[in-house]
Amino acid sequence: MHLNPYLFFNGQCESAFKFYEKCLGGKITAMMTYGESPMAEQTPPEWRNKILHAHLMLGDQELMGADAPPEMFEAAQGFYVSLHFTNPSEAEHIFNALEENGTIRMALQETFWASRFAMLVDQFGTPWMINCDPREGE
């Protein structure tokens, strides 16, 4: 079994995935618009440039996403995408990148379980948790 998050956006998927590619150091391996799909003719013209499917590789991890049609979009709630690090500098770097124009829910700080922990919602509405325990890398 393989588990990976699939994020839905309100028309911002392309911008979000380009941002994640830059922030997280990944590689976008696929990005198909509704207009490039077999269902292009059934898609309203104003929606044809929106993303039907995006795929980002982060090492051997995957992040996928799409623009949800307006009548199907719901803002993210009830979950966080959790990123785990063993290097505090890397955790700080990713936190600082993702927080750009976002909302910090819990500032990056030391906790009883981690050398660094934070919670934020990025500028695209995706909730993230940053967790760093250097002992995990030992």
Q: Which domains does the chain have, with CATH numbers?
A: 6-67 (3.10.180.10), 81-137 (3.30.720.110)
**Taking the complete model, does pTM exceed 0.95, yes or no?**
no
Q: Please, are residues 28 and 17 in contact by the beta-carbon 8 Å criterion? A: yes
Average pLDDT, the chain: 94
The one-letter code for the residue type at 89 is S
Which pLDDT score, from 0 to 100, does residue 59 have?
Answer: 93
Summarize pLDDT for 8-61 with one digit per residue, the tens: 999 999 999 999 999 999 999 999 999 999 989 988 899 999 999 999 999 999
pLDDT at 106 over 70: yes
Nearest to 21, CA basis, from 65, 67, 52: 65
pLDDT at 136 over 90: no
- Neighbouring C-beta atoms of residue 126, cutoff 10 Å: 24
Nearest to 75, CA basis, from 127, 32, 23: 127
Q: Please, are residues 42 and 31 in contact by the beta-carbon 8 Å criterion? A: no
